[in-house]
Every structure is written in structure tokens, then in C-alpha cells.
Amino acid sequence: MAEISALYPQGAGRGCKADKSATTTLYPPTTPYASGMLETAGIHRIYWETSGKPDGIPVLFVHGGPGSGTSPRQRQFFDPARYRIILFDQRGCGRSTPHGELADNTTPHLIADMEALRRELDIDRWLVFGGSWGSTLTLAYAEAHPERCLGLVLRGIFLCRRSEIDWFLEGIRAFFPEAQRQLAEFIPAGERDDLLAAYHRRLVDPDPAIHQPAAYRWATFEASCSTLLPNPELVSAFGSEQTALSLSRIEAHYFVNDIFLPENSLLDHVNRLRAIPAIIVQGRYDAACPIVTADELTLAWPEARYVIVANTGHSAFEPGIARELVAACDRFAASGGFG
């Protein structure tokens, strides 16, 4: 699922604790001191940037979607006086090119990009921070390369199993019936028994007259279900042509292919994570990535610290969740753990 950031108010304070007001939770905006395009063996070029302290603790921000891309506000979870903050746009989205490209766009490719970026930036080990789909990819990366992870900060757990995809497209109507009805009714009645397949056919069609309306409907549906309280401005932003296309097309591509991993792979290999300091921050009323998935993960992985945030939905920028994420990163910078 997508990260949501651009339309929330900018934070003004530094390193505030979990009891501070929403307007002083995040660190001030920072400007990258370096950026570039990571070349791959194929057609993809991956945008990356670094900000904060050049010799600070390396932290990699793994954005949601897949397909949403990064935004400047995502730098603000981290103290720029202590962290070397690294953002990158995954294949086909944000400032990476080609935009919306599905060829050679799989979870193993994204893991390989993360490793290539680590080597490009001459980093031995880093803290990895991911929410929503970012939690999926962070877990997959950490299970493949546990020796490269100083720690993990996870939010809004999404393991991308078939049951979770079915919930997102169908079951979520228990909480957002109007939004889900609009998603379903875009598709002719004869195709509604498999919304994922119906949308995927349209989203991969090369004709903009076919793929763009489907992209708009998918992306605005997701935005409608991703905050505890309605946010019309966010829905409008997700409906923009570029964001809607990369988000919906790449999500549908990953979903129809079961994220290119065996079913339940992430839970089945959780033993590889036990030695890595980790925290899981979950909104109690997250409808996009329901808390039951985080609960299952923590039962399988009791070594991870688990924080449930009341009165919040899915977004990392809802005040309670943002406070816990900033506090976790501050604790890690101070002690190398999350206790």
C-alpha cells in the first residue's frame, strides 16, 4: 500500500517525544546533499538521494505502494544531526525511469536494487525503515540480507498474501462501502467476480483512454481508505495522472503475481530476523492493512517490539503513528535498539 505524505501539515519541531503535539512531531525539512541515478543491468534507472549527516547512522527509507515513490517529507522521521537519510524511488515510479514500467519489476529485482544502492553508497550496514508495502519489501530484504541490517522500523504491516489482497479490494467494504462500491462499479457487472484481474487488464493496456480512468479509480479508492478521517485533498492528489498510473499499475502487477514470492514466504522465514533489533508500529484502526496481520507477525516474531497506536488508521503521518516512529528512530540513534 502507498505511503501518504504530501498533503499533511509540515512538522516544525525537532526530535519530539510521543506526547508532543502533532505539529511538532517531525524534524524540520532537510535538503539532500547528494542524489543520483543508479544504473541497472536493464532499462531501469533508480533515483536516490541522501540528506542529513554524511557520516551519520545510515537509514534507508523504503516507500509504499508498490509504485507510490518518495516525497521530501519522508526525510523528517529522522534526526538530520544523527542520521544519513537515504531515500530511493523503486522501479517504475517517482523519479526513477521508465515511469510505470513493469518489465523486470519484481520483488527480487527491488531487493537487488537495494543491495546495489548500499554498495554504491559504500555502506556496510543500515537501519531499514518501511511501512505498508514498504514493510513487505523491508521484511523481504532483511530475510535475504540480515547481515546488512542494523535494525528494522516497520509500520502498517502488509505481507501481501492473497487473503490481504482480497481484503483490500473486497472485504474493506465493511468499513468503506461507498469507496469499494465505486471501485467495483467501474467494472462491468460480468467481470466483477475478479476485480483484480479486471483492473489489471485495463491498467496494462497501452491505450491511455483505457488505462488512465482505471488508474484514477484504483488510486482514489486507495486514498479514500487510507486515513482514519476523510481527506478529500489527499484523494485528489492520488488521482493525479502520474501518481495514479504508477501506483495502480505496479500494485496490480505485483498483486496478480503474488509479489513474486511463495505464499506466506515472509512469515515462513521470520527466523532469519530474530537477531535484528526491530519495532513494529501499527494503527489500531488501519483498514488498508488491518491489525490482524501485524498480530500474526508479532506472534511469529516475539523478539520485535510491538506498539499499537490507538485512534489511528493507516498513514505514517497520522499524529500518533508519526510520534511513535520518530521516537523509535531517536531511541535507536541513542542506544542501537528500541527498548
CB 196 within 8 A of CB 252: yes
Strands (E), the chain: 34-39, 45-52, 57-62, 83-88, 126-132, 149-157, 278-283, 305-309
Cell triple for 125 = 550496514
Q: For this structure, is 268 an active site residue?
A: no
Q: Which residues of 311-320 are buried (b: 16+ CB within 10 A; e: fewer)?
A: ebbbbbbbbb
Compute the residue count for the chain: 339
144 by Cβ neighbours in 10 Å (0-12 / 13-18 / 19+) ranks as middle
Residue 182 identity (one-letter amino acid): Q
Spatial CA neighbour of 257 closest among 92, 110, 45, 105: 105
Residue 269 identity (one-letter amino acid): H
Q: Which of 265, 286, 315, 330 is catalytic?
A: 286
Cα-Cα-Cα-Cα dihedral sign, residues 132, 222, 238, 193: positive
Spatial CA neighbour of 75 closest among 93, 88, 94, 91: 88
Q: For this structure, is 194 an active site residue?
A: no
Strands (E), 233-302: 278-283
**Torsion angle in degrees (nearest 10) through CA of 252, 253, 256, 260:** -130
CA dist 251 and 2 (Å) reads: 9
DSSP state of 54: T
Q: Which of 68, 132, 246, 265 is catalytic?
A: 132
Q: For this structure, is 132 an active site residue?
A: yes
State the catalytic residues: 132, 286, 314
